[in-house]
Structure 1
Amino acid sequence: MSAVPTHDYRRSDYRVPARPLAGLDALVNRAIGRFHRRAKILQSLHDDAGAIISREREYMEMADAVLQRRLLEFRDRFRRGGRQMESLALPALAAIREAADRKLGLRAFPVQLMGALALDSGFLAEMATGEGKTLTAGLAAVLAAWSRRPCHVVTVNDYLVQRDAEWLEPFYHFCGARVGFVAFWMGQPERLKNYGCDVTYVTSKELLADFLRDRLHLGRMQNPTRRLIRRMLMPQPNAPDGLVLRGLHTAI
């Protein structure tokens, strides 16, 4: 596996050594370190990816109509929300994985499933070049779309925005989600329409510009019907908004 982009940054970054802890501070710090090591997040993600793959045969044997009906059932259950969403994530991703294989010709590998699970859980996931960020983001975006959380997939240029949205459109449609993209040449009506989709592909430049336009136009008014961009990055209990950074190769 090739190194992820931040490895180069870490090798060349100069850090001033922290002052060594002593006494009670050292004991507390050691206890915290043991707790984090015990969490084993990566191992948990790997185990969950294996559980998804173990359901492969069940969905491979389904006809397209049966698989799509199952996907729409998952979507309806996700939209009802609640604690059941946690138990549905693995079987739902198994069905989404099969949909991607049928519509895109790509069957997600364990590392891509781990990335999708991490994004759905609210983690920042870093992947090496060639590990399949486009598909990983698509898998996670379907779960966000089903949950009716505004999901913005942010990438580096307008070419990738249009290419990824159009390439993944049959997959999203099969899963019962609407996808759109926003590019620099679009006017306000077209932007409003595409921001209203379940999943929106956009560059960071356009996203920031539209966010600032909304703030300037609205001022103190907070009428959501007059915004270009739906609610984004506004914390709500148990329902984080979706923001996926795809193709980010600069360490931040």
Structure 2
Amino acid sequence: MSQAKSAAAANTALIHVQAVNKTFLLGDEPVHALNDINLSIQAGEYLSVMGPSGSGKSTLLNMLGLLDVPDNGQYWLNGADTVPMNEEQRAVYRRSHIGFVFQSYHLIPRLSASENIELPLILAGIAPAERKRRLAPVIERLGLGSRAGHLPNQLSGGQRQRVAIGRAIIMKPRMLLADEPTGNLDSQSGAEVVQLLEELNNDGITLVVVTHDADLGRRASRRIRMVDGVIVNDERTPSSDTQSRTDQSDAP
């Protein structure tokens, strides 16, 4: 695809990845983590990425999250060509457009739940009064009002993950990237986190979930499977089936 055509395609999608490759050295052996990846994701989609260990799932997520850059190829995010960006530009763009949720939470132990959620606002230089205004509804939505002053080691796994989600959405990103978001949780806490993520998707946030959990992967309206750095399957659920999934999830 020509640069002009790729730019045109990028203008119609939130994410447009064209002919992307990424290779790492494992000792003296090259590992082709991403092989000629082509992928477009529309704003508001709910996408799962599945595949065996070493298939390239996390590498793809890191690239989509501007934590890594491809060896070659193009990656357009929200109409901007991200590959030529330097590290500082990527950091600013990442902060404005992308939220991250990780399996291990990555909370700062010495900060309370509310302070962990507030941290991106502080780093962005937002004034205290505005931070307070934004923080209150997020804490309420997460159901953390009575736990907002607690440190991470005083919270359950599910509560920690909700804090991590709050931190991810406090800057109102267009895209949420979740890497094994239920991997460290019991089934009930995992179900609550999945429900919260899907509610955010229903509100318009584009949701990309990397998971080994087939049941979680099947919940997404679009499912990608990777093997050896290649997308080998890309399927979508008809909208009526997606609505049925949502209705079943809401059923008592």
TM-score by length of 2: 0.30
**Higher strand content, 1 or 2:** 2
Q: Could you say which structure has the greater relative contact order, defined with CA pairs below 8 angstroms and 6 or more residues apart? A: 2
| Rg (Cα) greater in structure | 1
